[in-house]
Amino acid sequence: MSGLNLDDFATLIERPDAGVRRDAEERRARLGPRPGAFGRLDEIGEWLAAAQGGVPVKPVQRPKAILFAGDHGVAALGVSAGPAGGAYELVRATLEGESAPAVLARRFGAGLRVVDMAVDCDPELLPEEVIRHRVRRGSGRIDVEDALTAEEAERAFRAGMAVADEEADSGTDLVVLGDLSIGGTTAAGTLIGALCGTDASVVTGRGGFGIDDLAWMRKCATIRDALRRARPALGDQLELLAASGGADLAAITGFLLQSAVRRTPVILDGVVSAACALVAQRIAFRAPDWWLAGQNAGDPAQAKALDRIALNPLLDHGVTLGEGTGALLALPLVQAAAALAAELPERP
């Protein structure tokens, strides 16, 4: 790959400031409510202080939900409850403010950005700011062909890095990460199965919209075949994303790593962001220190990936939709943790 050295991320990414975290813990011990009274909110507040590099923690004022969009060729096999090529409808509903992530972002005061990486529609149907990073129309059918060429995988990865830089430069202080994809959970299950060395049945979930038993069996068979093609690429994460991911997943991986470089904290959503996080961890082992897992989406592959990354979801409400909704639902919890840590007075 020309000019892109993934090994650089291991050097560029530093952990959140451990000294600041200790200072935040000491300050928490001096607040009125006894330590532990706020449960995980204390932990989140200390994590944010370390990420921001100062005590007391600053309130979260400019959160942004960022949704990477793409269609996947495997959707044509009936592995998803959504129609093949249906990512355009998800994108359009979100842009018009009529989707679940649009409603939640509006309610919680978060900005919302959609990044089209591989939506299978004419580019003229979407605004320029949405399509300007697009790599291709749809991704390849990963059970029989690569999702992307090597060049496309690098372009998508770099696009994710560019989005991370744009958000950091614009002042976004917390990212809520999600995807708008059809067939994306099949690609995610394949990546997690390959990296964890598991059988297809262990990483085959029912997707964001829920699928019946027959569709689950088709999805399991598809992941089984995709795993055979993925395993030879395990030594090179970008090659793995080209073989078994897709433009949206490659972009999310690049976004996660560059966000860690730029010291921007991120809330992960469901199995797609968890799969990309697992790939990113293989590239830079310190990167997960910059992420929170928003919620347990009930997907077995997500659970396996988060276990490997050592992230414990903040919420478990049985929300399976995806599209960033689980991460958005966790946003008020993170905002509350920041507010309590910032505004409660110390005991005299």
User: Could you list the active site residues?
Assistant: 323
Indicate the Cα dihedral angle 309, 151, 78, 304, nearest 10°: -10
Q: What is the dihedral of CA 324, 329, 333, 338, to 10 degrees?
A: 40
Where b means 16+ CB within 10 Å and e means fewer, 170-189 reads eebbbbbbbbbbbbbbbbbb
Ramachandran assignment for 175, one of left (phi > 0), alpha (psi -120 to 50 degrees), beta (any other):
beta
Give me 59's structure tokens. 């309130």
CA distance 306 to 315: 13
